[in-house]
Chain A
Amino acid sequence: MRSDRASAPLALKIAAACGLLFLHLPILLIFVYAFTTEEKSYQWPPPGLTLKWFAVTWGRPDVWEALGLSVRVAAVSTAIALVLGTLCAAAVSRTKFFGRETISLLVILPIALPGIITGIALRSAFNLADIPFSVWTIVLGHATFCVVVVYNNAVARFRRTSASLIEASMDLGADGFQTFRHVILPNIGTALLAGGMLAFALSFDEVIVTTFTAGQQSTLPIWMLEELVRPRQRPVTNVVAMVVVMVTFLPILAAYYLTRDGDRIAGHGK
């Protein structure tokens, strides 16, 4: 702590610490439950600790299938979101044009409106258009709300990238594509990577829209939702929950390190 800052009042420190604990203790609890020997209830404290459930989960084909589908859907949705989000961000941040605000609103809308609205709207549209539910209908939904994450990251970076860099590149004789390849891309690269990772995490975790746009396919969140509504294999669910937490932490940490300097300047996240 720097010396020119007054130290915080004790009450504030305690309140802030309690707030953070409130955010983290429930997630830590998942880690303990993954090792419990109890299989019929959510008994606390765990009567014993075991590693058995990790082996059981490893041998479950339905878990692997759901995981595989989730990864595929997230990868394709992220790719689509990266292209659409970057294009939109470039257009909005470089030029002022009529309807610019509307475009920003359009991008944010899928995430600003409750997920259930996006979900049911897509479902009834698929029904009206006689599109059968498949992996692709899931991807259509996911890509739509992933655009905003990429867009937000890219817009923030474009805002901090000086326009004179691009003008200088053009003045020095580079054409538009060279400028894009050698000047713009290196500047926005890490923001795109971060946006892509967050989009991946968002899609990987999405359940509300997915319940409406999936047919028989079950992504990992759908699998978990079924377990939540009708618990059948509590220990396996515990292990899956713990693995999901660990897997989503990695891209988030990576995204944080990639955009760290930017956050210090811009002072906001997400």
Chain B
Amino acid sequence: MTAVHGDATVQSAIFRERGGLAGSLSDIFWRNPRLLLLLMLTPPVLWLGIIYLGSLFALLAQSFFSIDEFSGLINREFTLKTYGELLIPANLDIIFRTVLMAAAVTLAAAVVAFPVAYYAARYASGKWKALFYLGVMLPLWSSYLVKVYAWKLILAKEGILNWFFAKLHLTWLLEAWLALPVIGGNSLSVSYTGTFLVFLYVWLPFMVLPLQAALERVPASLVEASSDLGATPAQTFRNVLLPLAMPGLAAGSIFTFSLTLGDYIIPQIVGSSRLFIGQAVYAHQGTAGNIPLAAAFTVVPIVIMGFYLWGAKRLGAFDAL
């Protein structure tokens, strides 16, 4: 399009220059698309670059400072001492516990989400499709705190879940479960099982949506061909559906994993008193005033997510977002 500019014979076919400020501006932008691009990109890049990246880097920089144990003041000299503190057993425990929880939540979310996503993608149409879509979107967008609150009601000692087990005369089952080491506890609302259930509930829609998007792209004929060729449903699932759904699973797992890694409110409200990474960050920056250690703790999920995203990209997760 720019090639015709210099050509004298074509000159007459080109519009006259426009008058007025808007007109000339518009002409300038048409001739210099890069200028327009620059103008369009400047505000968002400045905003995100300065406010977001700026504070992020400031935070990361502080993780290389250390805190003076006696005065409680921050010593602004480069040191790796704070990162060393991450490696004491108590802190390693926190990291290990959080990653394990995130992995468990991700796996469970994949298992629960798959049938919903597969039904919505393959079998639902028309009204049912809309119902499934809204059925996932409404819980996804409804208030996070309200969802956590709902689970506080459900898991309470006098709440609906205990009542339900009692009605079915299955209280012994619940008690046997709570008697288990690690995942059990005094009651559901102070056990890892409770924390796990709330995490699963709150992040489940984030798994369903990308998974459904990936499954929509699986041609039904592939699944049919597989069974025509004599594969059992289990074989079809393992060799045809699952590999094709992998980008969606990977994309969904980014959300469930990352969101669980960074959450500090759910384990605070439903769960045992043992800390997760988010709670540790919150505690260190708050009353303790130990910003360097809090900053070092935030680096942990960033690094973990960095590796995770790198792996997910190799699985093709970003095509399914």
| Contacts from A to B (Cβ < 8 Å) | 1-2, 5-9, 12-13, 15-16, 18-20, 22-24, 26-27, 29-30, 33, 41-45, 80, 83-85, 87-88, 90-91, 94-95, 97, 103, 106-107, 109-110, 112-118, 120-125, 128, 140, 143-144, 147, 170, 173, 175-177, 198, 201-202, 205, 207-208, 221, 224-225, 228-229, 237, 241, 244-245, 248-249, 252-253, 256, 260, 263, 267-270
A27-B116 contact in complex given A128-B58, A144-B51, A229-B269, C-beta closer than 8 Å: no
**Residues of A contacting B205 in the complex (Cβ-Cβ under 8 angstroms):** 23
Selected interface stretch from B3-11, B86-94, B131-139, B178-186: B131-139
A114-B259 contact in complex given A124-B59, A245-B142, A256-B137, C-beta closer than 8 Å: yes
Complex alpha-carbon distance, A85 and B26, angstroms: 22
Complex contact B119–A13 (CB within 8 A): yes
Complex contact A228–B149 (CB within 8 A): yes
Answer yes or no: B47 CB below 8 A from chain A CBs.
yes
Complex contact B145–A113 (CB within 8 A): no
Complex contact B112–A110 (CB within 8 A): no
**Residues of A contacting B59 in the complex (Cβ-Cβ under 8 angstroms):** 117, 120-121, 124-125
Complex alpha-carbon distance, A44 and B155, angstroms: 11
Complex alpha-carbon distance, A6 and B228, angstroms: 14
9 CB contacts below 8 A, A to B, read A12-B115, A87-B44, A91-B37, A116-B278, A117-B302, A144-B48, A225-B145, A241-B149, A249-B138
**Residues of A contacting B148 in the complex (Cβ-Cβ under 8 angstroms):** 228
**Residues of A contacting B58 in the complex (Cβ-Cβ under 8 angstroms):** 121, 124-125, 128
**Residues of A contacting B132 in the complex (Cβ-Cβ under 8 angstroms):** 20
Complex contact B119–A107 (CB within 8 A): no
Extra contacts, 17 of them, besides A120-B298, A176-B36, A268-B321 (Cβ < 8 A), are A19-B115, A19-B208, A20-B116, A23-B204, A27-B146, A43-B158, A84-B48, A88-B41, A97-B37, A103-B44, A107-B48, A110-B48, A125-B58, A229-B268, A248-B143, A268-B216, A269-B136
Interface size for B (C-beta < 8 A) is: 107
Complex contact B48–A106 (CB within 8 A): yes
**What 6 pairs across the A-B complex have the smallest Cβ distances?**
A114-B262, A125-B55, A15-B115, A175-B26, A176-B26, A16-B119
**Residues of A contacting B261 in the complex (Cβ-Cβ under 8 angstroms):** 114
**Using an 8 Å CB-CB cutoff, how does the interface string of B259-272 with A read, 1 for contact, 0 for none?**
10111110011000
Q: Which of A33, A112, A248, A263 contacts B141 (CB 8 A)?
A: A248
Complex alpha-carbon distance, A124 and B63, angstroms: 12
- The residues in B between 201 and 260 inclusive whose CB is less than 8 angstroms from any CB of A are 201, 204-205, 208-210, 212-213, 216-217, 220, 233, 254, 258-259
Complex contact B295–A27 (CB within 8 A): no
Complex contact A24–B139 (CB within 8 A): yes
Q: How far is the CB of A21 from chain B (nearest CB, A)?
A: 10
A22-B201 contact in complex given A221-B143, A229-B269, C-beta closer than 8 Å: yes
Complex alpha-carbon distance, A80 and B48, angstroms: 12
Complex alpha-carbon distance, A140 and B55, angstroms: 12
A42-B295 contact in complex given A110-B52, A170-B30, C-beta closer than 8 Å: no
**Residues of A contacting B278 in the complex (Cβ-Cβ under 8 angstroms):** 114, 116
A252-B141 contact in complex given A44-B158, A84-B43, A263-B133, C-beta closer than 8 Å: yes
Q: Which of A16, A123, A207 contacts B116 (CB 8 A)?
A: A16
Complex alpha-carbon distance, A123 and B62, angstroms: 13
Complex alpha-carbon distance, A253 and B137, angstroms: 9
Q: How far is the CB of A265 from chain B (nearest CB, A)?
A: 11
**Using an 8 Å CB-CB cutoff, how does the interface string of B46-76 with A read, 1 for contact, 0 for none?**
0111011111101100100000000000000
A145 nearest in chain B by CB position? B52
Q: Which of B27, B116, B209, B285 contacts A269 (CB 8 A)?
A: B209
Complex contact A90–B26 (CB within 8 A): no
A87-B262 contact in complex given A22-B204, A248-B143, C-beta closer than 8 Å: no
A177 nearest in chain B by CB position? B22
Answer yes or no: B23 CB below 8 A from chain A CBs.
yes
**Residues of A contacting B263 in the complex (Cβ-Cβ under 8 angstroms):** 114-116, 208
Q: Which of A95, A147, A208, A224 contacts B264 (CB 8 A)?
A: A208
Complex contact B160–A44 (CB within 8 A): yes
Answer yes or no: B84 CB below 8 A from chain A CBs.
no
Complex alpha-carbon distance, A113 and B62, angstroms: 18
Complex contact A224–B156 (CB within 8 A): no
Complex alpha-carbon distance, A1 and B26, angstroms: 51
Answer yes or no: B144 CB below 8 A from chain A CBs.
yes
Complex alpha-carbon distance, A208 and B282, angstroms: 10
